[in-house]
Amino acid sequence: MRTLRGYLWVAPALVWTLAISLGPTLYMVVHAFLAPRFDPAAGRPRLRWVGFENFARFVADDQLLHSVWWTVGVACTAVVLEVVLGLALALAAWSLTGRAARVAGGLLTMPMLMAPVAVAYLATTVFAQDVGLINGSLARWLGVPPERLPNWRSDPVWATVAILLVEVWQWTPFCFAVLLAGLASQPSELYEAARIDGAAGWSLLRHVTLPLLRPVLVVVVLIRLVESLKLFDVPYGLTRGGPGTATQSYSMWIKEIGLTRYDVGLASAMGLLLLVVLASSGTMALWLSKRARSVTQG
């Protein structure tokens, strides 16, 4: 009875969430194996069962495969940079007190409140080739000759770097804020004890601070990784997927194939693959982090 009542309280939210994800998932599962084929008898296309043809078309397309590795690479690099920078900033902020530090810390959290697509469009003036904020400054203050300035949006490597910079700019503050909160909640008695044992500086950080921070770090890495793999807004606004299709993310392809080409079968197959990979690895990671937390806490 109590159990049932508990579920009654949970049910609306659960049903709502699952309805929005299960509906599309079912749709994708079905359509991943269908494709429109011209039916001479009817004189118009009909949806037909095509087996794994949509998946085969995905695997045969170099541009799509490139986007897989590119998206994964960008996501992983971005997460590492964000966490390392965020941790450094959090440690620095942690050692500071006073109003100025609080205000500065507050300012630093601003980027993550902004719409990513707005950030991406704003970044276009920052990365413009001859007169952007970065290239303009490089030329004016460091005297870099024009032919040596990076062509941000026309070079696959620099374009990727630009996207990474924007991602890192926007989401390091998130890592910073969460890690700082984690640091602030660490029991100070442990530090007293460690200091009495003669630990200081680097060894204090390595043997006390970081182990204590581990559960928070795991959560931060996990959240950022999952979010980064969804990368869409920034390349959409900043590089349009270019040069060529070098920075066209996996999500951008799904959208283009599904809604512009109206190739629903291929888009469904790609979506399904992504879903399976993300959901399984994500759930596993969550489970691991839950275990890690109960181990460290228990």
Partner 1 sequence: MVKMAKVAGALWVALLAGCTTKTPDRPTIRVAVYASGPRGAISGPLHYWKNRWEEETGATLEIAEIPFAELHDKVFADLRAGTGQYDGIIGPAWFYGDYLLGNYILPIDDFIQRGKNGEFPFWDPQTVVPALRELHRWNGRWYGVPNDGDAHVLYYRKDVLADPKWQDAYRKATGKPLRVPETWEELAEIAEFFHGKDWNGDGEPDYGITMHLAVGGQGFFHYMSLSAAYTVLPGPQKDRYHNVYWFDPETMEPLINTPGHRRALAMLRRLQKAGPRGQTDWQLKEAWDRFLNGKAVFCYSWGDVGSLAQDESQSRIKGKLGCTALPGTMEVWDREHNRWVRFERPNRVGNTVGASWHGVITRQSKHPELVYHLFAFHAQKEINMFHCATGWTGIDPGRTFHFLQPRGEATLETYTSAGWHPEDARQYTEAFYQNYYESTAFLDYLRIPGTMELWRQLDRRLHEAVVDHSIAEEEILARIEADWRRTLERISNEIGPDRLKQLYQRSIGYGQRVQP
Partner 2 sequence: MAQQTGSFSHTGLTPQRWLAAVGFYLAVGVWIIVPGCWTVAQAFKQPRDVHSLRWIPWLEYQPTLASWRETLADPQLRRTLRNSVIVSVGATTLALLLGCPAAYALARFRLRPLGAEDTLLVFLSQRFLPPVVVAVPLALMAQRVGLYDRLVALIVVHTAFVLPLVVLITRSAFLDVPPELEQAARLDGCTMVGAFVRVALPLAAPGVAAAGLIAFGFSWNEFVAALMLTQYRAQTLPLFVASSEDTWGLDMGRVAVRCLIAVLPPLAAGVAVQRFFIRGLTLGAVKG
Contact letters for partner 2, residues 14-43 (x by CB under 8 A): x-xxxxxx-xxx-xx--x------------
Is residue 259 at the binding interface for partner 1, with CB under 8 A as the rule?
yes
Asked if 82 touches partner 1 (CB under 8 A), the answer is: no
Rounding to the nearest 10 degrees, give the CA dihedral for residues 158, 159, 160, 165: 80
Residue whose CB is less far from partner 1, 135 or 209 = 135
Assess 130 for contact with partner 1 (CB under 8 A): yes
Measure the CA–CA gap between 130 and 138, rounded to whole angstroms: 10
Contact residue for partner 1 among 6, 24, 45, 73 (CB under 8 A)? 45
Residues 132/149, Cβ–Cβ less than 8 Å? no
Give the contact letters, 216-235, x = binds to partner 2 (CB under 8 A), - = no. x--x---x--x--xx-xx--
CA–CA dist 78, 178 (Å, integer): 17
CA distances from 22 to 28, 29, 50, 227, 275 (A): 10, 10, 23, 20, 11
Residue whose C-alpha is closest to residue 46's, from 55, 59, 36, 32: 36
The answer to whether the beta carbons of residues 162 and 248 sit under 8 Å apart is: no
Residue listed under structure tokens 């659960």: 14
Q: Which does 185 bind (CB under 5 to 8 A by kind): partner 1, partner 2, none?
A: partner 2
Which residue stretch of 93-101, 177-185, 258-266, 281-289 sits at the interface with partner 1 (rule: CB under 8 A)? 258-266
Nearer to partner 2 by C-beta: 40 or 98?
98
Cα separation of the two ends of the chain? 31
- List the single partner that 151 binds among partner 1, partner 2, none, CB under 5 to 8 Å by kind: partner 1
Residue 40 interface partner, choices partner 2, partner 1, none, CB cut-off 5-8 Å depending on type:
partner 1
**DSSP reduced 3-state for 38:** strand
Q: Identify the bridge partners of residue 55 per DSSP, sorted by sequence position.
A: none
Which is nearer to partner 2, 99 or 148 (by Cβ)?
99
Number of residues that bind partner 1 (CB under 8 A): 30
Q: Are 251 and 36 in contact (CB under 8 A)?
A: no
Nearest to 287 by CA among 230, 218, 228, 229: 218
Binds partner 1 by CB under 8 A, chosen from 25, 72, 101, 155: 155
146 binds, among partner 2, partner 1, none (CB under 5 to 8 A by kind): partner 1
Point out which residues bind partner 1 (CB under 8 A): 35-38, 40, 45, 61, 128-130, 146-147, 151-156, 239-245, 259-263
